[in-house]
Amino acid sequence: MTATTTKTVRRPNARRLSRAARTERNWALIMVAPTILGLLILNVWPFLQTIYASFCNHLGFGYYEFTGLDNYINMFKSADFWKATWNTVYFCILTVPIGVFLALLVAILLNSKVKFKSGFRTVFFLPMVCAPAAVTMVWRWIFNSEYGILNQILGTHINWITNPNVAMISCAIVAIWSAIGYDAVLLLSGLQNISKSYYEAASLDGASKVTQFFHITLPMVSPTLFVVLIMRLMASLKVYDLIYMMVEDTNPALTSVQSLIYLFYRESFVAGNRGYGSAIAVWTVLLIGIVTVVQFIGQKKWVNYDV
């Protein structure tokens, strides 16, 4: 009954806004217009074009010829494509759980009573400020099998970036190292929102630090943790620049680390097969979509939104 009354009261308001409200609405539209336009022109339109291009053969210089499902058929038959898909998934498996776990660890340490806290925060955030290309160049020197510092310290002779079995792990190390600071800062803000009174009450009741972590910290930080997980997973599924910089096309490990977006780049821009490249891009979008949907379903089981 109350619902219908509010409706009848609201309707005229919704139709005929007061002058002030209308001006406000117009201003709101004007204010978001640049973003919306940018999104439409720079994201949505190219995305639609990519979908169209994936059904075409690129003849050259933006001329396309419609070929139906050919690109998809060739793609699903291609061993390199499946290898790239697996490489991408493997990269996620290597980077996401370890990366997010380490970021959480760092965030908890930074949230505790340590000396030079702000100094540590700066140091951990530093990789985020550096250009990825510069970061990768430095890591390449660290990993250099002959003259790199890593093999010197370990006294080993591991081909960090040229051994097909090891190269992906090396890439994952750099990815984790680069992302830890950013994720940790996000998690830290989540941790700082937890009221101290929970911990005080828990310690009065005699709960140990470990119990406190699993029963207070983890549930309370889970919304932030979920955001970090989603973002990290998407970024990992789209990995390109890092691998491109680490592994050049003369590297025998290339096919073992080539991610989907790397393959897309080589097909579209090196070989000029933009139609086929677009099919790979569409596949990647689908993959990211599926993974994200699964995560959103899964979050109901472990993310806690009650404060």
Q: Which residues bind another protein (CB under 8 A)?
A: 60-63, 80, 140, 144-147, 159, 161-164, 247-255, 266, 269-273
Tell me how far, at minimum, the Cβ of 276 lies from another protein, in Å: 11
For 85, 226, 284, the CA distances from 163, given in Å and listed in that order, are 19, 34, 26
**Pair of tokens at residue 151:** 């093999």
Residue closer to another protein (CB basis): 63 or 305: 63
CB of 167 to another protein, least distance (A): 10
Q: For another protein, which is the closer residue by CB, 271 or 286?
A: 271
Distance CA 11, CA 7 (A): 6
What lies within 8 Å, CB to CB, of 172 at 6+ separation is: 91, 94, 95, 98
Backbone torsions φ then ψ of 59, nearest 5 degrees: -85, -25
Comparing CB distances to another protein, the nearer of 63 and 116 is 63
Q: Min. distance of Cβ 80 from another protein in angstroms? A: 8
Alpha carbon separation from 43 to 26, 145, 151, 240 (Å, rounded)? 24, 41, 44, 19
Q: Could you give the CA distance from residue 67 to residue 181 in angstroms, rounded to a whole number?
A: 46
Q: Which is nearer to another protein, 153 or 307 (CB)?
A: 153
**Alpha helices per DSSP H over the chain:** 2-15, 19-39, 45-53, 70-77, 79-111, 117-129, 132-143, 149-154, 167-192, 196-204, 209-212, 218-237, 241-246, 254-257, 260-265, 274-302
* Residue 124 vs 265, nearer CB to another protein: 265
Beta bridge partners of 209: none
Residue 12 or 60: the one with the smaller Cβ distance to another protein is: 60
The least distance separating another protein from the CB of residue 37, rounded to whole angstroms, comes to: 18
Measured from the CB of residue 57, what is the shortest distance to another protein in angstroms?
Answer: 11
Closest separation in Å from C-beta 84 to another protein: 12
